[in-house]
């Protein structure tokens, strides 16, 4: 068995095991050795070895069974011990729960006792503290600070705590009885705050971080400087409130930008933004309401102050269906609706008022840009723009245009004073200022938002509306000018001017009517040039020139002309043509050149009429026009003249 056991090696390989058994058996080798191969002996050895293996297997099996029985016995004993430990643990857990309940009960009793002690001690402490505050308050009331806490610079922390409480108490006291002591407490409050700020600054320069932290903790309980600056004027003075808010917010954001240069952590921008928001959130939430409310009241005051200075009570300009109907009728018929109003030469437009309104709006845009949340900026800017439109464009410019239109006299009025061109001149200047502010201050705030198209449309509508009224006023003014010229001609032009009694005794170069009309026209041309700009000057002058030509043309058609009278008419038209040159409008000059050529028909010899009519300036004219002028000759009915012109 020992020999058999020796044949087992780790790891066990059956083929190698058989090989080793064969080599150990005498006569079992096939190569080498002294003995020849003996199969019978090898078979006998195999049989014996198998028997030994069977015996070994039985022995090992008995040993395995014995070990299994022992293992089962030990497992039962272990399970029994585990059950006993579980029971012990359950008992211990139950004891722990009982102990925990007992501890909780004791803790409740202790807390209750503490509350009772605090309920007794707190009023006592408050009473003691109130007594101390009353003592300090009396010192301020007497005007002499004797307590060591106020005189000892090392106790500034305790003094700061006391002065904060006194400051809160003082705010609740009536001003009329305690104004003096309130001012003393406030003064001391600000003095201590300044001292703490100086200490913080000094510690910062010295690099004393712990002292900075200590002073900052004390300063934390003082007002925010911001609150002190804003609350005082928040309800009483909106203008100062908005200026202070803008200034403080700007300075704070600038300070934040400087602090960004220091190492304040990885998310320093968010940290600083939250700090700024915590300071200003209550003021920024309703900023635009304060802004628009102030801008409306301020704009209304500027306008009212101006009209008061003119002793003018604003007329109510109607709106709605009736007013719209009147406006359409006026645009189509050019008729004045309602009585003419004498404005005494006042345009009711003021550049000073406009500059003030634009300045207020400019400041509002700047504050809006700084104080509005980026998402609210376009909407807030639009609200400010609508206020500008309301007070500048509608309440001031449009009112002046309406008043100016009502002040234009009818075309048949005598010696009418025409001031509407002054309104046009000032309105043009104001339009340029309005447009400049729109581009410079509003556009950057709305350029990338849907509000841009809304603002452009509103601007377009208001300008078109005003241009329509300007066009109407200019047209009616031109009619009045022509009416004045008609009156001059009617009053100054005599029939004998063009058919004098003594043909040989005419000493004048042109008629008195011509002199006065030309003087009037030159004055109006100069006024138009001064009142307009750009292409508008040429447009209005051309219209005025055409109407001027038509007036003279129709005026000349009313008279009969002798030879000398025709010469005088030619001289008048030549003078009118000189006046037309001042227009610097080719069409107007051409019209008067043609009229001058037509007047030659009044004096040309009958034999030369056909030759003159076929000349360069008259060849393209309708024959009826030529005939109408020839008919004005005093000698037209003579057979000779009629025969030459037929």
**Could you write out the DSSP letters of every residue in 410-444?**
PTT-SS----HHHHHHHHHHHHHHHHHHIIIIIHH
Quick one: average pLDDT of 587-603?
Answer: 91
Confidence of residue 4 (pLDDT cuts 50, 70, 90): low
Res. 432: pLDDT tops 50: yes
CB of 279 closer than 8 Å to CB of 224: yes
Q: What does the angle CA 21 – CA 25 – CA 28 come to, to the nearest 5 degrees?
A: 100
Model pLDDT, residue 268: 66
Under the banding of pLDDT at 50, 70 and 90, the label for residue 353 is very high
Q: What is the pLDDT of residue 320?
A: 44
What DSSP designation does 633 have? B
Over residues 377-405, mean pLDDT: 94
Q: Return the HEC string of 89-100.
A: HHHHHHHHHHHH
| Confidence at residue 321, expressed as pLDDT on a 0 to 100 scale | 46
Identify which of 438, 446, 437 has the alpha carbon closest to the alpha carbon of residue 377.
446
> What is the model's pLDDT at position 6?
56
Model's pTM, two decimal places? Answer: 0.66
Which element (helix H / strand E) includes 491? helix 451-492
Confidence at residue 153, expressed as pLDDT on a 0 to 100 scale: 74
Q: How far apart are CA 451 and CA 381, in angstroms?
A: 9
Record the tokens describing residue 206, joined without a space. Answer: 């010295």
Element (H or E) spanning 407, and its range? helix 399-407
264 pLDDT tier (thresholds 50, 70, 90): low
Which residue, chain included where needed, has tokens 């220091």? 262
Q: What is the pLDDT of residue 255?
A: 82
Beta carbons within 10 angstroms of residue 72's beta carbon: 10
Instruction: Give the pLDDT confidence score for residue 515 in this predicted structure.
Output: 94
**Tokens representing residue 31 in the block:** 């190569």
Between CA 630 and CA 492 the distance in angstroms is 24
Of 469 and 132, the one with more pLDDT: 469
Q: How many CA atoms lie within 13 A of 50 on its CB side?
A: 6
Question: Are the C-beta atoms of 561 and 496 separated by less than 8 Å?
Answer: no
DSSP string, 171-182: HTS-HHHHHHHH
CA dist 640 → 196, 374, 513 (Å): 118, 91, 33
Other CB atoms within 10 A of residue 368 CB: 27
Tokens representing 452 are 């841009």
Taking only the tens place, the pLDDT of each residue in 295-343 is 999 999 999 999 999 999 888 765 444 555 554 554 455 455 555 565 6
List the end-to-end C-alpha distance of the chain, in Å, as a whole number. 171
pLDDT confidence bin for 9, thresholds 50/70/90: low
Sign (positive/negative) of CA torsion 85, 87, 89, 91? negative
* Cα dihedral across residues 613, 618, 620, 625: positive or negative: negative
pLDDT, position 48: 87
Cross-strand pairs, 633: 561
Average pLDDT value for residue range 624-639? 80
- Indicate the SS3 state at residue 35: coil
Tokens of 486: 């008609």
Closest CA to 624 of 635, 616, 613, 615: 613
Q: What is the pLDDT of residue 32?
A: 46
pLDDT for 639: 43
269 backbone φψ class: left, alpha, beta (φ>0; ψ -120 to 50): alpha
- Angle in degrees, CA 398, 400, 406, rounded to 5: 105
11: preceding bond cis by omega (within 30 degrees): yes
Residue spans of alpha helices (H) in 172-221? 175-206, 209-219
Is the confidence at residue 480, as pLDDT, over 90? yes
Residue 133 confidence class, pLDDT cut points 50, 70, 90:
confident
Burial class (CB in 10 A: 0-12, 13-18, 19+), 336: middle
CA dist., res. 61 & res. 56, Å (int): 9
Q: What angle do CA 452, 456, 459 make, to 5 degrees?
A: 140
Structure letter (DSSP) for residue 37: P
CA gap 514, 519 in Å, rounded: 8
Half-sphere exposure of 640 (CA within 13 A, CB side): 6
Inter-residue contact 341 to 403 (CB < 8 Å): yes
**pLDDT tens profile 170-220:** 777 787 777 787 777 777 777 887 888 888 888 888 888 888 888 887 777
Which of 549, 643, 537 minimizes the C-alpha distance to 591? 549
299-329 burial string, b = 16+ CB within 10 Å, else e? beebbeebbeeeeeeeeeeeeeeeeeeebee
Cα separation, 314 vs 311, in Å, equals 10
Kindly report whether the peptide bond that precedes residue 256 is cis, defined as omega within 30 degrees of 0. Answer: no
Of 247, 236, 232, nearest to 280 by C-alpha is 247
| Bridge partners, residue 561, by sequence | 633
User: By three-state DSSP, how is residue 27 classified?
Assistant: coil
Q: Please provide the average confidence, as pLDDT, over all residues in the chain.
A: 83
The fraction of the chain above a pLDDT of 90, given in percent, is 36
């Amino acid at each position: 068995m020992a020999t058999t056991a020796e044949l087992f090696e780790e790891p066990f390989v059956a083929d190698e095991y058989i090989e080793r058994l064969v080599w150990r058996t005498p006569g079992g080798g096939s190569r080498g050795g002294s003995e020849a191969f003996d199969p019978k002996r090898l078979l006998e050895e195999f049989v014996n070895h198998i028997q030994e293996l069977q015996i070994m297997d039985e022995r090992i099996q008995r040993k395995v069974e014995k070990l299994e029985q022992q293992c089962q016995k030990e497992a039962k004993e272990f399970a029994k011990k585990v059950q006993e430990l579980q029971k012990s643990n359950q008992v211990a857990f139950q004891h722990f729960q009982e102990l925990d309940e007992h501890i909780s009960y004791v803790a409740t009793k202790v807390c209750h006792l503490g509350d009772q002690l605090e309920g007794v001690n707190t009023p006592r402490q408050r009473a003691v503290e109130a007594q101390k505050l009353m003592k300090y308050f009396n010192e301020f009331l007497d005007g002499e600070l004797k307590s060591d806490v106020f005189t000892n610079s090392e106790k500034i922390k305790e003094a700061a705590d006391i002065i904060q409480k006194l400051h809160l108490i003082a705010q609740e006291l009536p001003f009329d009885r305690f104004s003096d002591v309130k001012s003393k407490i406030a003064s001391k409050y600000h003095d201590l705050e300044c001292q703490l700020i100086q200490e913080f600054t000094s510690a910062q320069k010295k690099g004393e971080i712990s002292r900075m932290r200590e002073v900052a903790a004390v300063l934390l309980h003082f007002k925010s400087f911001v609150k002190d600056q804003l609350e005082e004027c928040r309800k009483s003075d909106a203008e100062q409130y908005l200026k202070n808010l803008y200034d403080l917010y700007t300075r704070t954001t600038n300070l934040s930008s400087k602090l960004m240069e220091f190492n304040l952590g990885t998310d320093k921008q968010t940290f600083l933004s939250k700090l700024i928001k915590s300071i200003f959130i209550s003021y920024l939430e309703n900023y635009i309401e304060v802004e628009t409310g102030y801008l409306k009241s301020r704009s209304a005051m500027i306008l009212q102050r101006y009209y008061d200075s003119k002793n003018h009570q604003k007329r109510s300009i109607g709106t709605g269906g009736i007013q719209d109907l009147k406006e359409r009728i006026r645009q189509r018929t050019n008729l004045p609706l309602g009585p003419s109003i004498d404005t005494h030469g006042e345009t009711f437009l003021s550049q000073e008022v406009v500059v003030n309104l634009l300045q207020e709006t400019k400041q509002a845009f700047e504050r809006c840009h700084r104080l509005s949340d980026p998402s609210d900026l376009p909407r807030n800017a639009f609200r400010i723009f609508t206020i500008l439109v309301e007070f500048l464009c509608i309440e001031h410019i449009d009112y002046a245009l309406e008043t100016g239109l009502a002040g234009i006299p009818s075309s048949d009025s005598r010696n009418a004073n025409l001031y509407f061109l002054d309104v046009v001149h000032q309105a043009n200047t104001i339009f340029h200022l309005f447009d400049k502010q729109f581009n410079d201050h509003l556009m950057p705030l709305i350029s990338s938002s849907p509000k841009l198209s809304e603002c452009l449309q509103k601007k377009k509508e208001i300008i078109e509306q005003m241009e329509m009224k300007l066009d109407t006023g200019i047209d009616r003014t031109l009619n009045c000018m022509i009416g004045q010229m008609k009156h001059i001609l009617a009053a100054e032009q005599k029939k004998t001017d063009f058919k004098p009694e003594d043909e040989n005794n005419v000493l004048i170069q042109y008629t008195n009517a011509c002199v006065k009309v030309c003087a009037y026209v030159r004055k109006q041309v100069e006024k138009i040039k001064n009142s307009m700009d750009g292409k508008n000057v040429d447009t209005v002058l051309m219209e005025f020139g055409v109407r001027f030509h038509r007036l003279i043309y129709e005026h000349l058609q009313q008279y009969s002309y002798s030879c000398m009278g025709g010469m005088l008419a030619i001289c008048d038209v030549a003078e009118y043509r000189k006046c037309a040159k001042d227009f610097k409008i080719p069409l107007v000059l051409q019209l008067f050149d043609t009229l001058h050529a037509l007047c030659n028909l009044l004096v040309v010899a009958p034999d030369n009429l056909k030759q003159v009519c076929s000349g360069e300036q008259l060849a393209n004219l309708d024959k009826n026009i030529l005939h109408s002028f020839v008919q004005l000759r005093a000698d037209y009915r003579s057979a000779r003249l009629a025969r030459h012109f037929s």
